[in-house]
Structure 1
């Protein structure tokens, strides 16, 4: 009996000796965090290898692998830490995910597998990921995704499949992702989207299809996506485009568009529209969208503008007409653009520009007149016309050097920037003032063609942040899960506000017309009743937000207590190991 026990003990000791042990590093950006666990220099060539992952604190939930090579993700990781919520396995040379990899990942919510070497996603590979809400598989080599690959991740909210080698997608691939709000298929090789690919993704708010080879979009592809707000189809091969009325941002530059059409433009919610570098010859359909605040039609053969072209665009704050073959600006063209802050009319054929044409745009902060072959400009009127101007683009014109020196000096004295903030337009190899080309004499003058134009950077086309959300969480230290709850709460409040305005309008019509036999007194009572209900809902939502914040503070307090106790006594795990 004794010899048998001794033999078993020897086998166990031999197994422990052969096992590869990796201890967790709890320091994140130099700060000790019990919930964070970093494993570095981990090498796994096969999932069946005998590996032990250990942590001093028994319940971390944020895990990250650095400087590691994992041909497969070890399943023992999830059985060792069943409360794992976040897993970062980026740049770890992962080549394969098998059917049982995540069977014990019951609490996993965020999974980052970006920048690995995956080539295919087989059916049911995410079986066990019942709570997964965010999945990033971008920058791999995936050329095929099986129809049921994502079926077990039905709670996904954010899915990134960008920068892969996808050419074809199964029509049912996203059929079970009914909670999906963000989807990126950017930078793949897609030529066609199946007609019913996104029919069940009714909550989708952000869809990124840029850098593919799409020639058309399915008819009514966004019909069921009533919450779709941002659509990016930059750098495809589209020739025509219909704008869904629920969109607030549409990016469709670098296509072959000659026709852009909006269904019921008076109901459109579109605020940002980018159509740069297409084949658009007329913008009449576009300027019917009264909600537009940012419009970019640069590098299109637009030509002469009708005097009433922008009459309905009273909300415009950013207008880009760079390289649109303009020859002049008519008086009255910008009569309604009192809110305009950025105007780009560079690289056109306007040899002369009278700034008084822009008298109705006193809010201008940035004005680009580069590349028009200008000899002079009535710059002495700038402070009076544009008291808020901070930048004036003057590059690639035909200035006389003496005249330009006076213009630049004037702008510097008025606090108006003229130097390029980017490597745009500077011509230091030619006669210049502060990098701006000028001619010493008429015989030396060079006229630059629009074909030499370089697109100006526009910050308004690169803003993906939610300003309202930043105001809410600006002073709150939260986990990603709490952040997501706040996003959902904010969207709920916005929906209530949007619904409220429609109902109030209906009440007003009832009161004015006494529809349905209802008197004005009844209509007012109905309005008060609706307002009370909406107020009650708002109070509940705010209470929920405070509850989430309170729980976060309580959890952080417990963590601090654990850190304090850690300094006095050894951890439970350490004691067990010593035993």
Structure 2
């Protein structure tokens, strides 16, 4: 009799526990958003025992806040078939099953940022063909199966940054002809196939920065229409080839020693090559549309302003942080398009402003943090009528030898003055110039 009562008690207890795990979560309406708060689905068993409801009439935006969900409950999309935007970011998601989106036929934006997803399995988004923006940033993804994105013919933005990807399946992007933006930054990629993005005929922006790429052939982007921007910074590239249709290339913090243009009349307007191993501006090919060239923190030891003639529209030239000890100018005619020249953090000790005589329309010249002890700037306003700013901070001017310079600058319309807190410990401020 006692044993029978004990069994009955245990069965009753188990039934009560089972009932306690079956919960109905009701969303709160905020600005036409259906928001579920404090949803706790920490095991797969609880998914089938939980229901979702809403006072919102056919919501189109659904969001989880302060929740812990092991995987997306398919019941969500069965209950709310008109959902267009799903935000399940930072919810502890670990898995995406093949049926997770089976009833999400109207969904267009999916935000799964900041979860714990490790593997993207084949057909994980099957049933949601209208997804156009998929954000999987900041997960633990180390494996992507080849057919995971099959069927996403409308996908335009794919964000996979800040994961643990070391390799990519060779056919991963083959079905994504509508793809416009791909983010793969901050992964562990050491290789990208030479034809990886060939099928992405709509691609305009690609970010593969902060990986371990030793080779990346940009020839696969050579097309009849423009690609807006590619970022390959913070990798291990030794050479870069610029397709003629690319407009912006960021390739800083690599080991680049060689730069080549592919095709005639390159469309490039912005080129950042800072923190590489280039030794001369002459290593850059002719780029007639280029507006900004950043070669700061390379290994340049000399520079001739004649080098800029192969950049017919160059406005900004950055050569900071190199090893320049002399500047020369063999130009025979004026270059009026160059407006901003940065030469800070080099090794210049003496400079005559007359070396810029053929760059008369310069607006700003940065000579800060060199080793200048002498600067000649006679008739500054006459020679450089639009020079607004001359940066001289952090140099080694001698007060007794700078009287002539101070006199020349005093009557110039150019702003040049430093402040006392910009002077070195051993320096003092005299007429706006730090000297010792």
Give CA-to-partner distance per residue, 1:251-300, whole Å, 9 cap, x none.
11111111111123x41001101111111123324251111100011122
User: For 1:76 and 1:327, how far apart are their aligned partners in 2?
Assistant: 69
What residue number does 1:281 align with?
Answer: 279
User: Relative to 1, partners in 2 of residues 1:111 and 1:355: Cα closer, same or farther, differing over 3 Å?
Assistant: same
Q: Which has the higher helix share?
A: 1
Question: What are the residue-to-residue correspondences of 1:282-361 with 2, within 5 Å?
Answer: 282-306=280-304, 308-331=306-329, 333=331, 337-361=335-359
What residue number does 1:473 align with?
Answer: none
The answer to whether 1:25 aligns with 2:28 is: yes
User: Relative to 1, partners in 2 of residues 1:98 and 1:383: Cα closer, same or farther, differing over 3 Å?
Assistant: farther
User: Relative to 1, partners in 2 of residues 1:414 and 1:261: Cα closer, same or farther, differing over 3 Å?
Assistant: closer
Contact 2:34–2:56 (CA under 8 A) maintained in structure 1: no
Contact 2:101–2:124 (CA under 8 A) maintained in structure 1: yes
| Deviation, structure 1 residue 380 | 7.2
What residue number does 1:77 align with?
Answer: 76
The answer to whether 1:46 aligns with 2:43 is: yes
Mark the runs of 5 or more structure 2 residues left unpaired by the alignment.
1-16
Give CA-to-partner distance per residue, 1:81-119, whole Å, 9 cap, x none.
211111122222211111111111111111111111111
User: Relative to 1, partners in 2 of residues 1:385 and 1:64: Cα closer, same or farther, differing over 3 Å?
Assistant: farther
What residue number does 2:6 align with?
Answer: none
Question: What are the residue-to-residue correspondences of 1:40-439 with 2, within 5 Å?
Answer: 40-46=37-43, 48-218=47-217, 220-223=219-222, 226-264=225-263, 266-306=264-304, 308-331=306-329, 333=331, 337-378=335-376, 381=379, 383-386=381-384, 389=387, 391-400=389-398, 418=418, 431=427, 433=429, 438-439=434-435
Q: How many residues align?
A: 414
| Deviation, structure 1 residue 315 | 0.8
User: Relative to 1, partners in 2 of residues 1:107 and 1:384: Cα closer, same or farther, differing over 3 Å?
Assistant: farther
User: For 1:411 and 1:243, how far apart are their aligned partners in 2?
Assistant: 46
TM-score (norm 1): 0.65
Contact 1:204–1:225 (CA under 8 A) maintained in structure 2: no
| Deviation, structure 1 residue 64 | 2.5
Give CA-to-partner distance per residue, 1:433-460, whole Å, 9 cap, x none.
59x99453xxxxxxxxxxxxxxxxxxxx
Give CA-to-partner distance per residue, 1:338-389, whole Å, 9 cap, x none.
2333211112222122223334445544321012211243567555555555
User: For 2:329 and 2:213, how far apart are their aligned partners in 1?
Assistant: 41
User: For 2:80 and 2:416, how far apart are their aligned partners in 1?
Assistant: 58
User: For 1:235 and 1:383, how far apart are their aligned partners in 2?
Assistant: 42
Contact 1:43–1:68 (CA under 8 A) maintained in structure 2: yes
TM-score (norm 2): 0.84
User: For 1:433 and 1:165, how far apart are their aligned partners in 2?
Assistant: 52
User: For 1:230 and 1:107, how far apart are their aligned partners in 2?
Assistant: 31
| Deviation, structure 1 residue 233 | 0.9
Give CA-to-partner distance per residue, 1:520-543, whole Å, 9 cap, x none.
xxxxxxxxxxxxxxxxxxxxxxxx
Contact 1:201–1:224 (CA under 8 A) maintained in structure 2: no
**What RMSD in Å do the two structures reach over aligned CA positions?**
3.3
| Deviation, structure 1 residue 184 | 1.4
SS of the aligned residue for 1:117 comes to coil
| Deviation, structure 1 residue 148 | 0.9
| More deviation, 167-176/361-370 | 361-370
Contact 1:355–1:377 (CA under 8 A) maintained in structure 2: yes
Contact 1:203–1:226 (CA under 8 A) maintained in structure 2: no
SS of the aligned residue for 2:308 comes to coil
Contact 1:84–1:105 (CA under 8 A) maintained in structure 2: yes
User: Relative to 1, partners in 2 of residues 1:392 and 1:56: Cα closer, same or farther, differing over 3 Å?
Assistant: farther
Q: Which has the higher strand share?
A: 2
Mark the runs of 5 or more structure 1 residues left unpaired by the alignment.
1-13, 28-32, 441-579
Contact 2:423–2:434 (CA under 8 A) maintained in structure 1: no
Give CA-to-partner distance per residue, 1:108-143, whole Å, 9 cap, x none.
111111111111101110011110011111111111
| Deviation, structure 1 residue 430 | 5.4
| Deviation, structure 1 residue 159 | 0.6
SS of the aligned residue for 1:154 comes to coil
Contact 1:345–1:368 (CA under 8 A) maintained in structure 2: yes
User: Relative to 1, partners in 2 of residues 1:417 and 1:229: Cα closer, same or farther, differing over 3 Å?
Assistant: farther
Give CA-to-partner distance per residue, 1:53-80, whole Å, 9 cap, x none.
3333312212222222222122222122
User: Relative to 1, partners in 2 of residues 1:55 and 1:241: Cα closer, same or farther, differing over 3 Å?
Assistant: same
User: For 1:94 and 1:244, how far apart are their aligned partners in 2?
Assistant: 40
SS of the aligned residue for 2:206 comes to strand
User: For 2:98 and 2:81, how far apart are their aligned partners in 1?
Assistant: 18
Contact 1:313–1:336 (CA under 8 A) maintained in structure 2: no
| More deviation, 221-230/120-129 | 221-230
User: Relative to 1, partners in 2 of residues 1:18 and 1:260: Cα closer, same or farther, differing over 3 Å?
Assistant: closer
